[in-house]
Amino acid sequence: MTELEHLCKEVERWMLELIMPLQTTKEINEAAFERLNETAKALARQLKGSEMIPRRAIDCLYVTMGILKNEADYSRDKERVMQMALAVNQAFGAILEGLAVEDRKPLPS
pLDDT, tens digit, for every residue of 12-45? 999 999 999 999 999 999 999 999 999 999 999 9
Q: Distance (Å, rounded) from C-alpha 3 to C-alpha 85?
A: 25
Residue 77 Cα distances to 26, 29, 31, 46, 83, angstroms: 9, 12, 15, 32, 10
Domain boundaries in the chain? 3-101
Is residue 11 within 8 A of residue 60, CB to CB? The reply is yes
pLDDT digits (tens, 9 = 90+) for 38-73: 999 999 999 999 999 999 999 999 999 999 999 999
Q: Distance (Å, rounded) from C-alpha 60 to C-alpha 84?
A: 14
Q: Is the pTM of this model over 0.85?
A: yes
